[in-house]
Structure 1
Amino acid sequence: MDDDIFDRIANLEDELEDIGYIEGLEAGKIIGRIEGREMGCDNGLSIGRDLGFYQGWVQQWLRTAAVRPGLVPERVLKKLTALQSAIDEVPMANGEGADFGARLKAIQLKFKTASAMLGINAAAELPTSTLSY
């Protein structure tokens, strides 16, 4: 009987550690989900704001080119169309292979190239984003 009590005391630490691990894992899942949702909302807002800027910018240049033929050179129109395509390809949901960082860097590079070809200072046009693509 004494051996049984001492065995129970000796195993108590392991039992409590296992219980604590399971409880901590469950609490971590809940907290992680909340933090992930908050971070997703913050980053999603910044990404959406930047995409909206690029979308509006390229659409305005494409409309201007349609209304005033010859104002925008053909090679610039190709860059603007490529920029529009890159924007259109950004998924509106976060899933496997979304890689928003790489997509936004590519869009930003196309924007800077098109701006330079139009003789516009891209730094003055860029949105003030907190994200670093």
Structure 2
Amino acid sequence: MADLTVATPDEDIFDSIVMAEERFHEDGFTEGFAAGKIAGDQEGFKMGQVKGRQIGSEYGFYLGFVATWLQLVKEDPGLAKKNVVKTLDVLNAMLASFKVNDINNESYWDDLKKIRDKFKQVASLLGVKLDFTDEKTQQPPMSF
């Protein structure tokens, strides 16, 4: 908060009054900036948690899907054609090589999109209409 100083005899009393508004403005800006930084950090952390949960849930869904179908095909080889099994193996390899925690990797989002696309291809080849949705992680769109 700005301090109101008494004008010295060499200063004009009106200068200290006029300058008080500027000091209050600067102090208000500094306090507001600090409060905004704290609020922004908290909001960013929360958003990161939500987005991380969404990606983790989706990744786990794909892992479970692939593991289930690979086990089914292992038990009954006639369940799926060879090209479907090969595509399942490719998706499994993509999931195994995907580094979920390495968000700073340049290819992170491209790799995630490739996994989604490969999943859609596998689901189509298997003739199952399945898409990942997790109501617990669905958030309303952000608005400003």
- Do both proteins adopt the same fold according to a TM-score greater than 0.5, normalized to the shorter chain? yes
- Determine if the alignment matches structure 1 residue 6 to structure 2 residue 14: yes
Instruction: Name stretches of at least 5 consecutive residues in structure 1 with no aligned partner.
Output: none
- Determine if the alignment matches structure 1 residue 92 to structure 2 residue 101: yes
Q: Which residue of 1 aligns with 2:72?
A: 64
Q: Which residue of 1 aligns with 2:62?
A: 54
Distance verdict in 2 for CA 1:93–1:83, change over 3 Å: same
Q: Indicate the larger mover: 102-111 or 27-36.
A: 102-111
Aligned counterpart in structure 2 of residue 114 of structure 1, from 122, 128, 138: 122
Q: Which amino acid aligns with 2:120?
A: K
Give how far 1:61 is off: 1.8
Instruction: Name stretches of at least 5 consecutive residues in structure 2 with no aligned partner.
Output: 1-8, 140-144
- Greater relative contact order: 1 or 2 (C-alpha under 8 angstroms, separation 6 or more)? 1
Number of residue-to-residue matches in the alignment: 128
**Which structure is higher in helix share?**
1
Give how far 1:84 is off: 2.4
Q: Indicate the larger mover: 1-10 or 13-22.
A: 1-10
Structure with larger Rg? 2
Q: Which residue of 1 aligns with 2:4?
A: none
SS of the residue corresponding to residue 53 of structure 1 reads helix
Distance 1:11 1:99 in 2: 52
Aligned counterpart in structure 2 of residue 128 of structure 1, from 128, 134, 144: 134
- Structure 1: which 4+ aligned runs deviate by more than 4 Å? none
> How does the TM-score come out when normalised to structure 2?
0.70
- Determine if the alignment matches structure 1 residue 43 to structure 2 residue 63: no
Give how far 1:99 is off: 4.9
Q: Percent identity?
A: 34
Give how far 1:20 is off: 1.0
Q: Output one character per residue of 1:83-116: Cα deviation in whole Å (capped at 9) or x when no partner.
A: 223333143254364754x544332221111011
